Structure 1
Amino acid sequence: MNRELPGTLMSIGEFSRYSGLSVRMLRHYAERGVLAPAEVDEFSGYRRYAPGQLQDAGRVRMLRDSGCGIPAIAELLPLFDSPDMLRLRLQSHLDELKAEARRVAEQQALAVNLLGELEARARRLDVVERTFPALRVLYLRRTVADYPSEGALWVNFRGPVAELTSHDPEAFGDLGGATYFDDEYRDADVEMAIWREYRGASVPDGYEVVELPEQRVATVTHRGGFETISEATATAGAWIADQQRTRTGPIFNVYVHGPGRDPNPENWVTEVNVPIAV
């Protein structure tokens, strides 16, 4: 911080013109102890600034424009006399800005997705009652941190699928999905299984071959990214309640056209299935 205040003192208006900070903001900074005037007339209350304070004013403006609030400006301004410490603190601020940018980008993506879903929301999602066929599947059941962690399970699944397919190109069928075993929605420690229709004989370590039974299900087809898939689940739940039907097993999704085939979420098609009593 510039502590030398030589030269003729300037009125707050003149200092404002040269510093690029409005009179209102100069008064605000002074009240917060960030950039105090060099002199305040005890009778008139007029504030005067020294030419040497213009450098500090420029630094305040740069810190403000880089996203620093007043507490951060007050902390960082004296550190211009200690460049190493300032560099570390500015790097920390930059890391915070990057994290905030990622959060905003995620919120923007969700907002775009929600806008795209407005038309779909205007159309009533249909519930189809059908019989889901019995399936023999390669099955990986785990308790994971949260629902988005399902993606990591599918990444792990790719290795065994590639290995088994290299020996038998016909080992897998077209159907794949995920089953969710918790009766309630959980914020953490979610028990789920991912699976693919399987005709092969080999069973990799940590996996199972499971015979899924034929089931009567209420199915809602969701189109788009997974951010709004809860609408399909809610639609199925409302239908079951309205029809006075009974859920008989864990909800499961079938990924008709998903991220494994197409990176564009606009093209994804997921069937949400709720097993129901006949």
Structure 2
Amino acid sequence: MSHALTIGDFSKATHLSVRTLRHYHQIGLLEPADVDPDTGYRRYATEQIPAAQVIRRFRALDMPLDDIQAVLTAPDVRTRDQLIAAHLGRMEAGLARTQQAVTSLRDLLERRSAPAAIGHRSVPATPAAAISEDVGVADALLWYQGALGELRATLGAQRLRADGPAGGMFADELFADERGRATVFLPCRGPLRPTGRVTPTTVPAAELATIVHSGTHDDIDRAYGALATHVAEHELAVDGPLREYYLIGPGDTLDEGAWRTEIGWPVFATGTTG
């Protein structure tokens, strides 16, 4: 075969290791132009060098091999470009999360955060629509988003109005064991008919020490830490699930910096504040 390269020479030409080339052959991502049936030696055509270079660059961008295969076999340019754009979008989102984590870590190391503003709130028993399930920590955020969407859709379908911000209650096991009971609720008044996962409930009354977290939940642990410190030093904690109230969230604005989540830690009301 003319203009052919051994796997070793092709490796040098493309900066892909022999081991990597063999793997790409096995999964059908980059098959040699010819394989000797007796020796199994692979030979590559020089025309395959550009494809190998494209694969190498996609891997440098952490694109999964299945996605690279889909790009290389796309039926048309539009489909190919959509696949590439989708991956670049995921990369940009990842970079944004990394930058946010770096900023948060610098703030922690340099102790630049302002003192936490702790509040107290007496919450009465509240009728609500709720979804309650055992969930894992890794799935909690997606589960919460889906549950909240279902609650709002159910209230809309039954012509009921929300009577306050949505909230959540989380069992200790969810934090300690990475799996436990989670409840998302939406206060409402009126005869709610159970539909799908949505059931009527009464959110129990509670005395809460509170703190408001601004922004996404990526670094909400800092607010939890500040509230826990205050409760340990100044309050008498009582048994009961921790609470979150979503004062401003994705359903209100796409500006993540404007999101506000109130965290509530159950405490014994003594009539004084710490």
Same fold (TM over 0.5): yes
> Which residue number in structure 1 is paired with residue 95 of structure 2?
108
CA drift at 1:252: 0.9
CA drift at 1:263: 2.5
Larger gyration radius, structure 1 or structure 2? 1
Stretch of structure 1 that moved more, 249-258 or 68-77: 68-77
Q: Structure 2: how far apart are the matches of 1:271 and 1:160?
A: 20
* CA 1:146–1:183: 2 relative to 1, 3 Å: closer
> Which residue number in structure 2 is paired with residue 81 of structure 1?
33
> Which residue number in structure 1 is paired with residue 184 of structure 2?
194
Match runs of 1:1-278 below 5 Å: 2=5, 35=8, 56=9, 60-62=12-14, 64=15, 68=16, 71-73=19-21, 79-82=31-34, 97-99=62-64, 105=92, 107-114=94-101, 117=104, 121-168=112-159, 170-183=160-173, 185-186=175-176, 188-205=178-195, 206-243=197-234, 245-278=236-269
* CA 1:218–1:99: 2 relative to 1, 3 Å: farther
Q: Structure 1: how far apart are the matches of 2:55 and 2:5?
A: 24
Matched residue type, 2:186: R
Q: Structure 2: how far apart are the matches of 1:75 and 1:150?
A: 36
SS in 1 for 2:172: coil
> Which residue number in structure 2 is paired with residue 7 of structure 1?
none
CA drift at 1:151: 2.8
Q: Structure 2: how far apart are the matches of 1:115 and 1:69?
A: 33
* CA 1:262–1:70: 2 relative to 1, 3 Å: farther
> Which residue number in structure 2 is paired with residue 25 of structure 1?
none
Q: Structure 2: how far apart are the matches of 1:69 and 1:265?
A: 43
Q: Structure 2: how far apart are the matches of 1:180 and 1:98?
A: 36
What is the count of residue pairs matched by the alignment?
221
Under a length normalisation based on structure 1, what TM-score does the superposition of the two structures give?
0.64
Q: Structure 2: how far apart are the matches of 1:264 and 1:200?
A: 32
* CA 1:79–1:156: 2 relative to 1, 3 Å: same
Matched residue type, 1:72: T
Q: Structure 2: how far apart are the matches of 1:106 and 1:247?
A: 39
CA drift at 1:270: 0.4
Q: Structure 2: how far apart are the matches of 1:243 and 1:167?
A: 44
Q: Which runs of 5+ in 1 are unaligned?
A: 4-33, 36-55
* CA 1:153–1:119: 2 relative to 1, 3 Å: closer
Instruction: Tell whether the 8 Å contact from 1:249 to 1:276 is kept in structure 2 after alignment.
Output: no
Instruction: Tell whether the 8 Å contact from 1:138 to 1:198 is kept in structure 2 after alignment.
Output: yes
CA drift at 1:265: 1.7
Q: Structure 2: how far apart are the matches of 1:270 and 1:133?
A: 19
SS in 2 for 1:114: helix
* CA 1:76–1:142: 2 relative to 1, 3 Å: closer
Q: Which runs of 5+ in 2 are unaligned?
A: 36-42, 66-86, 270-274
Instruction: Tell whether the 8 Å contact from 2:129 to 2:151 is kept in structure 1 after alignment.
Output: no
CA drift at 1:159: 4.0
Under a length normalisation based on structure 2, what TM-score does the superposition of the two structures give?
0.65
